[in-house]
Amino acid sequence: MAAGDARKHEKAIDISGLDYAFGEHEARKQVLYDIELAVAPGEFAIMTGPSGSGKTTLLSLVGALRRPQQGRIVCVGSDLMRLQGVELEAYRTGLGFIFQLHNLFPALTAFQSVQMAADLRDDLPGDKMERIASLLTELGLGERLHYRPSKLSGGQRQRVAIARALVHRPALVLADEPTAALDSQNTEIVLGLFRRLARENGTTVLMVTQDARVFERADRLVNLVDGRIDSDSRR
């Protein structure tokens, strides 16, 4: 899956009849029930819902970080029920993950952290180094390209993690509370970046958030309650 081909598929995310449970036998606890969800390329969808509703489990299933158990889940052309080995790694390489915690290597500078993601892709168009510098600058880190995480604020670290997820222009961005550590101005910058990627690249964004500032910027709001989709509204 090369960068920039996000519009090739009719649906970026196509889920039907998806169930998921943790544990086995008496310890089995089902967290997702019969999920039906289709997200189009370039769509910016937000998943919300109370704690324990299954949002992050669904996010990790879409990211192929967990193996699906039952149902159908096809994302950017890959059937995740069948994916394994090299194909699984290739699928993940084409995604952009933004975790709640930035998880940056303390020894690497902002630039090097983003480069680690860019280095995974040999098919990025243009100059890789220029792309990294320009993305970090767009995220307000132009003056801190060569700072290590210890010299960056929480918000700045989170923006480095966002740049790391977006540098290869992924077909699908999976984000867990990416704006939680950001002020309003930087939240706007990040959301603007998502929108631009969606527009220019057809990148689909699936974001878990409770941040009300973000809701109005999304195309779609999916609300999960007790492992079921309670509401799914387009805006």
Partner 1 sequence: MAAAGMGFAILVIFVQLGFYSSVLNTALAVSSRLNGELILISPRFVHLSEAGEIPRARLFQVLAHPKVLSATPIYFRYVVSRDSATGNYCRLFALGFPLADARTAMPLRIPGIDDQLDALRPTGDVLMDRFTQTRCGPSSPESQFELMGTAARVVGRFELGVGFLADGAIVASDDSFGRYFSKLGYSLDRPHLGLIKLAAGSDPAKVAAGLRERLPSDVRVITREELDAYQHRHWVQNTAVGNIFGMGTVAGFLVGVVVLFQILSTDIRNHLPLYATLRAMGYTSQRLHGYVLEQSWIFAVLGYAPALLLTLILFPIIHNVTLLPIFMTGKLAAGVLVLSFIMCTVASMLSSRRLRRADPAELF
Least separation in angstroms between residue 90's CB and partner 1 is 7
Q: Which of these segments, 29-37, 72-80, 93-101, 125-133, binds partner 1 (CB under 8 A)?
A: 93-101
**Interface pick for partner 1 out of 38, 40, 120, 133 (rule CB under 8 A):** 120
Distances (CA, A) of 50 to 92, 146, 226: 27, 39, 8
Shortest Cβ 33–partner 1 spacing (Å): 19
Binding flag, residue 60, partner 1 (CB under 8 A): yes
Alpha helices in 24-181 (DSSP H): 55-62, 85-93, 110-118, 128-138, 154-166
Residues 47, 117, 136, 160: which binds partner 1 (CB under 8 A)? 117
Q: What's the min distance (Å) between Cβ of 185 and partner 1?
A: 26
Stretch of residues binding partner 1 (CB under 8 A), selected from 73-81, 102-110, 130-138, 152-160: 102-110
Binding flag, residue 103, partner 1 (CB under 8 A): yes
104 binds partner 1 (CB under 8 A): yes
Inter-helix orientation angle 128-138/110-118, to 10°:
130
CB 21 within 8 A of CB 33: no
Q: H helices then E strands: how many in the chain?
A: 7, 10
Residue 176 contacts partner 1 per CB under 8 A: yes
Neighbours of 125 (CB within 10 A): 10
Which whole-number Å values give the CA distances from 196 to 15, 54, 66, 109, 144, in the listed order?
25, 29, 29, 26, 23
Binding site for partner 1 (CB under 8 A): 56-57, 59-60, 63, 65-66, 89-95, 97, 99-101, 103-105, 116-117, 120, 164, 176, 208
